[in-house]
Structure 1
Amino acid sequence: MQTLRQLYERACRWRGKLDFFVDEHERVSGATAWQSSGLIAASLVRHGMSPGERVAFLCKPSARHALAWFAAPLAGGVSCSMHIRETPDRLAETLRWLEARVLVHDPDLAELASEVLARAAAAGHRALKISLGDAGSGSVGWSDLLAKSNHDPLSVPVERDSLAAIILSSGSTGRPKGVIHTHRTLVENAKA
């Protein structure tokens, strides 16, 4: 096992019909998690995400957040969760610094996501807005993400040394710094 894709597939298949992601609103089995993350990965590619591009998340912990977070590396992208309590200016700066192609947000954070995207656009950076709920103004919604696709996201090659995630750390300055993880480092950490 060398990639996050392989690890995630194995874990999903191992859980099968058993709960895999659970929050106060949803229970997702392993089999459903694998299928849903695959559909979301295909949707990300269909909406223009290329291998190596960053997908930023402005989300609280939830089953949908986890499904979408794992979908990005499945399609060759790079997941990065941002802190929902940061200021809109700091979030826009982080979005630009990441060069994120996509911003995924919780439905109740739609207004903040729009503000962040507007501030980033004013500085010359644009990103696709995706809601984990209904599609709002200028965004792709949850049902769109789960739409069937002819594209197989697993056809996108993912190497063990490909970037898979950026974990933000404020360090001593309070400004976000990225801790880079490849598929290999995430798999090795999971094995430890």
Structure 2
Amino acid sequence: MRSERGPDTHRTTVQWMGEPVLTLADVWPQRPRGVIVSLNSTPTSVAAGHYHQGSLAQRQLSRLADAGLFRAPEPGQTSFEDVAAEAGIGLADVVRRPTCAERHLIAREIEVGRRSLVVELEARRVALLICIFRRPVDVLLGTSGPPGFQPRTTSWGARVFRLPGPFAPVQEVRGVMAELTQALGSASSVQ
């Protein structure tokens, strides 16, 4: 595996289903209190060397900063890896192969990635999974409820939180994100 990790990039080359793939390295804090789980990275994010470089994903990460999950990056910065890791929050993808859209993934890739990621998350005893979009919730739990904490937990007991969609009404966003803020204030809800 070749890695270009450093302050300016998190790109790495991994073996994915028998082929080398340039992607983003998972971010694993020493003691993760939570992990932001995505389905897979986009070519734009991989080219930039940072997770979630699209405008919709940036909006979602800003909502997480506003909720108190981690501090916002410095003005003009679009990378969240350092501020997330500093707060004990990791970042990981289910599928290691970047694509422009979910429709470019095959079911086998999603299942292989899910199994591999679950092993990593369970081994690290991650208690909180945050999904900025709906699809990773479906992959991890087999179903997805409305935005907010999901009624089901993972096989190892982790809570799963789904953000409202990027275009959700402001009132919905406020209510759901307040739920996360409240949970973050309670040590027992994320440990």
TM-score past 0.5 threshold: no
Q: What TM-score results when the alignment is normalised by the length of structure 2?
A: 0.37
Q: Which of the pair is proportionally richer in helix?
A: 1
